[in-house]
Homo-oligomer: A and B are copies of this chain.
Amino acid sequence: MIRLDTREAGFAAAFDDLVNARREADSDVERDVRVITASVRDEGDAAIRAFTQKFDGHDLDESGWRIESSELAAAYDGLEPDLRAALELARDRIAAYHQKQKPADSDSTDDAGVRLGARWRSVDAAGVYVPGGRAAYPSSVLMNAIPAKVAGVERLVMVTPTPKGEVNPLVLAAAHITGVDEVWRIGGAQAIAALAYGTQRIAPVDVVTGPGNAWVAEAKRQLYGVVGIDMVAGPSEIVVVADAANDPEWIAADLLSQSEHDPSSQSILFTDDALFADSVAKAVDRQIGTLSTKDVARQSWDANGAIILVPDLMAALPLVDRLAPEHLELAVDDPDSLFAKVRHAGSVFLGRHTPEAVGDYVAGPNHVLPTGRRARFSSGLSVLDFMKRTSFLSLGQAGIDAIGPAAVKLAETEGLPAHARSVALRLKS
């Protein structure tokens, strides 16, 4: 953890380092992924089987390539009732929030007699990546599958690695209650390539979403264009802006809820009170020892944690915008006055009773959010990621006579005579 103070010499340079720190894929990952995706493109299932044997330690021909719907239903039936209820509450709230994102079509005729519009349709097929191992999160299934199904995607494919063949029943149950249509026991860059290119067994999809490790993220980046993707995902981040009226234990827990994700996660506190900063730092240290995730949380907090003292909380906001964090908590009495000044953040948590973690599970907004300063230009996962818009146009004789001559003029000026002719031929002579 580093401590900074905006009023100390050297702050600007130290903050620049924080903003520009790369915690993401290095070029080894890029090279490895290039080899994996090319193998899957060229060799299909044989490559998938070989990489799964190598990385996940099981032979798909023996363990089975797919997990059948009956297994998903059985996993759901086997859950204890309050866990089932929690999953269903989450599903219903997430679905309700995402329903409101469905875009409206438009179709109107203007004064020149030109009919113009836009029509939205879902993609035909989507693939959802769900990490295996430590990060096998049912909440990831919900957050990716629900917007796809709300969009109207007919074929929703889930891929998830099952290291040594093991599956996580929670993940299967979440797939069951969200209507996932196919589940394949594959992961890593090879799974992303299978979804993008298709293999003998696995039909290709149009969009691939979902979080993953550095190899998965890099595969999505490399295959973007072959397939649509949600975003380039990096390590998780939280920025907390808090005054001294907060309980330091609450804020410490919030910071640790990111630190415990991954050694490369980042947690940053901005506060205007040095004593409060000390209290939070102590609370973090004390709480870490009690966590089953303490090794990860300790590494992450030591390497990437930061506490930054500002003269007043408003002064934190331009710095927050430079970080463009995935998650931003505004733990003050009047969070809206701060929020009004924030331009770049993936998701914002307003007030003292809104810990980021409640948004990870049950609140409704998506927890798949832009990381690594990408909230400057991208948004959290939504129904729109599974839809596309077709614009349309219809002119009659009057319409083309009204606006066609200007098109002819511009086409001629651009040196495109067939463009000009295609319009000119239709003008009333």
9 sample A-B contacts, Cβ–Cβ < 8 Å, listed by A number: A86-B409, A89-B406, A256-B421, A257-B416, A287-B418, A346-B390, A360-B419, A363-B407, A365-B393
List the 10 shortest-distance A-B pairs measured between CB atoms, nearest first.
A228-B377, A225-B232, A256-B418, A365-B391, A350-B394, A253-B422, A86-B406, A379-B389, A357-B419, A355-B422
Chain A contributes a number of interface residues (CB within 8 A of B) equal to: 122
Interface status of A183 (Cβ within 8 A of chain B) = no
Interface status of A358 (Cβ within 8 A of chain B) = yes
Interface status of A12 (Cβ within 8 A of chain B) = no
Interface status of A399 (Cβ within 8 A of chain B) = yes
Nearest CB in chain B to that of A350: its residue: B394
B365 near A417: Cβ-Cβ < 8 Å: no
Per-residue 0/1 for A196-211: is the Cβ within 8 Å of any B Cβ (1 yes, 0 no)? Answer: 0000000000110000
A362 near B394: Cβ-Cβ < 8 Å: no
B228 near A224: Cβ-Cβ < 8 Å: no
CB neighbours (8 Å) of A382 from chain B are 389
Of the candidates B124, B207, B391, B410, the one whose C-beta lies within 8 Å of that of A139 is B410
Minimum Cβ distance to chain B for residue A61 (Å):
29
Known interface pairs A361-B407, A394-B351; A426-B90 also in contact (CB < 8 Å)? no
B375 near A390: Cβ-Cβ < 8 Å: yes
**Bound form: Cα–Cα A291–B419 in Å:** 10
Segment 385-429 of A: residues with Cβ below 8 Å from B: 388-397, 399-400, 403-407, 409-411, 413-423, 425-426
Known interface pairs A257-B416, A360-B411, A362-B403; A353-B139 also in contact (CB < 8 Å)? no
**Bound form: Cα–Cα A409–B249 in Å:** 20
| Interface set of A (CB-CB < 8 Å, partner B) | 82-83, 85-87, 89-90, 93, 96-97, 100-101, 106, 110, 114-116, 118, 121, 123-124, 134, 137-139, 170, 206-207, 221, 224-225, 227-228, 231-232, 247, 249-250, 253-254, 256-257, 259-261, 287, 290-293, 297, 335, 339, 342-366, 369-370, 374-380, 382, 384, 388-397, 399-400, 403-407, 409-411, 413-423, 425-426
**Bound form: Cα–Cα A356–B335 in Å:** 50
Minimum Cβ distance to chain B for residue A406 (Å):
4
Of the candidates B89, B123, B391, the one whose C-beta lies within 8 Å of that of A366 is B391
B138 near A410: Cβ-Cβ < 8 Å: yes
CB neighbours (8 Å) of A399 from chain B are 353
Nearest CB in chain B to that of A397: its residue: B353
A358 near B418: Cβ-Cβ < 8 Å: no
CB neighbours (8 Å) of A359 from chain B are 393
Of the candidates B87, B101, B293, the one whose C-beta lies within 8 Å of that of A418 is B293
Known interface pairs A221-B224, A357-B423, A377-B228; A339-B392 also in contact (CB < 8 Å)? yes
Nearest CB in chain B to that of A365: its residue: B391
B253 near A421: Cβ-Cβ < 8 Å: yes
CB neighbours (8 Å) of A413 from chain B are 83, 138, 170
B291 near A418: Cβ-Cβ < 8 Å: yes
A403 near B138: Cβ-Cβ < 8 Å: no
B358 near A423: Cβ-Cβ < 8 Å: yes
Minimum Cβ distance to chain B for residue A386 (Å):
9
Nearest CB in chain B to that of A290: its residue: B417
**Bound form: Cα–Cα A306–B358 in Å:** 56
Of the candidates B247, B256, B350, B395, the one whose C-beta lies within 8 Å of that of A392 is B350
CB neighbours (8 Å) of A358 from chain B are 393, 395, 400, 403-404, 407, 423
Known interface pairs A106-B100, A221-B224; A410-B355 also in contact (CB < 8 Å)? no
Known interface pairs A410-B138, A425-B247; A260-B392 also in contact (CB < 8 Å)? no
B390 near A342: Cβ-Cβ < 8 Å: yes
B425 near A89: Cβ-Cβ < 8 Å: no
A376 near B411: Cβ-Cβ < 8 Å: no
